[in-house]
Chains A and B, each alone.
Chain A
Amino acid sequence: MTRYFTKDHEWIAVEGSEATVGITHYAQSQLGDITFVEVPAVDASVAKGDSASVVDSVKAASDVYAPVSGTVTVVNAALEDQPELVNSDAEGEGWLWKMTLSDPSELAGLMDEAAYQTFVAEL
């Protein structure tokens, strides 16, 4: 499994043509207490850069963009009752949705973990 990161602070863990998407630990730390997560609809097709989900914190609502194009297969139902999972384990239990990729070549434009950490350190 390979994990990629976007400049908008999403992560995407890819295995073959399947992937899991969430927001990064850094993103959740910036958003603060998360009170609601609007996940995309199962079977929705999303294009790279589309707003696919919204994460609501006490202070503000933030869009989560699809890191790549594809079709949503599963959403994290646990977030309905426990949106705070995104705070406690953003890059694990706090995942948002799973998807199949329609164009794996889009992954080439994303950062690996080391590049993302460098990117965040410079913010």
Chain B
Amino acid sequence: MSDTYDIDQIEDADAEPVGPLALPLDAWHRARGGRMVDFAGYWMPVQFEGIIAEHLWTRSSAGFFDVSHMGQLYVSGEAVEAALEAILPIDLSTLPVGGVRYSLLLNESGGILDDLMVTRWKSGFYLVVNGATKWDDIAHLREFLPDEVTLNHLDDSALFALQGPKAAEALEALVTGDQALSSLSFMRGAAFKLAGIDVWISRSGYTGEDGFEISVPAENAAEIADLICAQSQVKPVGLGARDSLRLEAGLPLYGHDMNADVDPVSAELLFGINKRRRMEGGFPGSEDILPLITNGTATRRVGLLIEGRMAAREGANVLAGETEVGTVTSGGFSPSLERPIAMAFVATAHAAPGTSLFIDVRGRKLAATVAPMPFIPHRYYRKGAA
């Protein structure tokens, strides 16, 4: 854990750095042939052996992802629970220690500033936010959290994800803890030791597969990455496959499938607003958002299955006949389905599954059908489930 910032104190701590920065595994990725690109201000591997191979490996075995660009934050102090509930539409009263929950950072008019994961630790809350938005998120939290609440940016921690049907057997061999790794169900986390090093592991991820997210000290990042990737089930996977995996899983990406001009109802992210908060309101944007639940929205985020092999990309217009009814926000080739898929915002009248639409790609009209998401069924590990 690094510097503790008093909320109103530090002037430069959240200034955006200039140029791509190296993350703890930078040399590790380069040594393994990772093709590095500038992503969210960091050098990140977009691929190793190839996006399709890495994608399919994750779906059939286990993929190791370095997501250390993401923001890891720790919020603690007197009345931290009430302070977070004033900022997030989350119900923390039903979140046990070790529980992980998806939430949304909203502006005053109900637009989405970021999506994030909130975990209750014994003494406070652990937040994981998007890399591209973390500096703005930190500034936002500093502005709206009261003085008694302390925000730590855990910037000396790296963050990994191990995802896929063989993630559990691969990781189980490496960790010890007060509880067995296998006792964690989806959206639960606990402290473990990995090679004698204290790590935090949650059963969560961004691929639709069973898997884990692992927060480790930056100084031990390469050692731990080596150990995990020495497991026969595991290969390193880059950002390219991370994107195609999350698209198949129907999981939206901030800055593409949602942004500050999009409300959570249109984005089909109502599960990020917990039931008690929907009843009670009192979160940023609640006066704009809550009526949308009853009255509906003009557009909806939908999945689209596209005919043929040509992919539709972000920004492509969606048509009903000749009429423009929406826009693609994410799209690409699905390695699992071997066909192009997309997410789009379309007029609610055209959002029902089965609706036939067209997508204009460079003047060609591709036939597309509104499809339920996820495109590939989620395979999360839920205890008690079959």
Name A residues whose Cβ lies closer than 8 Å to a Cβ of B.
32-33, 35-36, 38, 54, 56, 58-61, 83
Contacts and interface: CB of A to CB of B under 8 A. Distances in A.
B240 interface: yes
Contacts of B308: 36
Main secondary structure of the interface of B (DSSP, over half): mixed
A63 to B, nearest CB: 9
Nearest to A37: B309
Contacts of A59: 46, 51, 240, 243, 332
A61 B366 CA distance: 15
Contact of B332 (A38, A58, A83): A58
Contact of A58 (B310, B335, B362): B335
Contacts of B340: 35-36
The CB with the most chain B CB atoms within 10 A, among A33, A38, A58, is that of A58
A60 B244 contact: no
Contacts of A58: 51-52, 55, 240, 244, 332-333, 335
B309 A33 contact: no
Contacts of B46: 59
A56 B333 CA distance: 9
A56 B309 contact: yes
B284 to A, nearest CB: 35
A35 B306 CA distance: 14
Given A58-B333, A58-B335, A32 B313 contact: no
Contact of A60 (B309, B310, B313): B313
A32 B310 contact: no
A83 B308 CA distance: 13
A34 to B, nearest CB: 10
Nearest to B310: A36
A119 B340 CA distance: 34
The CB with the most chain A CB atoms within 10 A, among B47, B240, B308, B311, is that of B311
A38 B47 contact: no
Given A58-B244, A58-B332, A83 B51 contact: no
A51 B253 CA distance: 31
A9 B331 CA distance: 25
Contacts of A61: 311, 313, 362
Given A38-B310, A54-B362, A58-B332, 6 more contacts: A56-B309, A56-B310, A59-B332, A61-B311, A61-B313, A83-B309
B50 interface: yes
A76 to B, nearest CB: 15
B211 to A, nearest CB: 21
A71 B276 CA distance: 67
Return the 9 tightest CB-CB contacts between A and B, nearest first: A36-B309, A35-B333, A58-B51, A33-B52, A36-B310, A58-B333, A33-B50, A33-B51, A56-B311
B311 A32 contact: no
Contacts of A32: 47, 50-51, 240
The CB with the most chain A CB atoms within 10 A, among B47, B244, B313, B332, is that of B332
A60 B37 CA distance: 14
A51 to B, nearest CB: 9
B251 to A, nearest CB: 17
Contacts of B309: 35-36, 56, 83
Contacts of A36: 308-311, 333, 340
Interface string B45-60: 0110011110100000
14 contacts: A32-B50, A33-B50, A35-B333, A36-B308, A36-B310, A38-B310, A56-B310, A58-B55, A58-B240, A59-B46, A59-B240, A59-B332, A61-B313, A61-B362
